Structure 1
């Protein structure tokens, strides 16, 4: 894998072959960060990377200036590799070994960007549960964005706060945004019905 931009632009990171991962391709990653570049200044961002695998996405955020990156994965080997790589590059990445659903249920922080790259064959209901837990537990900051990478067979555009999606080959990125107008409408409707 290659870091595309930022302090370590062009640096290659080689992960052990035995990790149970399907890294986001460089082309997809570049397209994703081009979109994020139009919405965010990466300096100082607080980022949550779920199903982080090799840490590919986390390293990209850290190289571009995100100062608080949390990487969550259930595999011990992945978490160990992220810790080693973060120490080598002096990235401010906290690697957490945890089941992602359990982590989201107890998480008390909120983030500017949440990225999730679950296994493509994960059940549709679990993809939906990730969206619901993030929104219900207010893990996304007011101007924040959540991105979920999935296959074309998973549909998330019916979920609350869905904003748009982008297709890259066999991969789809679904974007969710905290929409203050939607929140205000809901509060307004509740007050009208009181």
Structure 2
């Protein structure tokens, strides 16, 4: 994987082979950040990266100047890799090792962007639980956005607070906003 833009543009990050992850493709990531770039000043926002995996999305935010980034993943090896990479590049990334759903139920922090990249084999109910918890707990700032990455075969359009979905190859991003 590589960082597309910002301070660390074109830097390659090689994750260990044994991580249980499916990193967002460069094409999908570039498209996502083109959308976000039109709506946010990256150095002014706070980001929560759920199911963070390799930290791919968080590194992109950090490279673009975001100073408040929190990654949550349940796998120790993923958290260790994110911590090592963030330290190597001196990126302002905090990590939490734990279950994403428990984290969402327990946190009171608010974010401008919440990005969730759960396993594509999640059930419809598991996918829908993410926006349900985010909006029930009011975890987004007023102009905040929840983005859920999923297979193009998953449809979240009938989920509360759904705004729009964008597809790139086999990936899709569903955007949710306060109504």
TM-score, normalised with respect to structure 1: 0.91
Question: How far is 1:160 from its partner?
Answer: 1.5
Unaligned 5+ segments in structure 2 are none
Runs of 4 or more, structure 1, over 3 Å off, are none
Secondary structure of 2:85 counterpart? helix
| Aligned-partner Cα distance in 2 for 1:66–1:93 | 9
Question: How far is 1:159 from its partner?
Answer: 1.3
CA offsets per residue over residues 131-167 of structure 1, 9 Å max, x none? 1000010001100011000012222111121111101
| Aligned-partner Cα distance in 2 for 1:19–1:106 | 26
Counterpart residue number, 1:188: none
Counterpart residue number, 1:154: 154
Q: How many residues align?
A: 179
Question: How far is 1:89 from its partner?
Answer: 0.6
Question: How far is 1:123 from its partner?
Answer: 1.2
TM-score, normalised with respect to structure 2: 0.98
Question: Does the 8 Å CA contact 1:46/1:68 hold for their aligned counterparts?
Answer: yes
Counterpart residue number, 1:84: 84
Question: Does the 8 Å CA contact 1:48/1:70 hold for their aligned counterparts?
Answer: yes
Counterpart residue number, 2:10: 10
Secondary structure of 2:44 counterpart? coil
Question: Does the 8 Å CA contact 1:50/1:115 hold for their aligned counterparts?
Answer: yes
| Aligned-partner Cα distance in 2 for 1:97–1:123 | 23
Unaligned 5+ segments in structure 1 are 180-194
Question: Does the 8 Å CA contact 1:141/1:178 hold for their aligned counterparts?
Answer: no
| Aligned-partner Cα distance in 1 for 2:5–2:144 | 21
| Aligned-partner Cα distance in 2 for 1:86–1:139 | 24
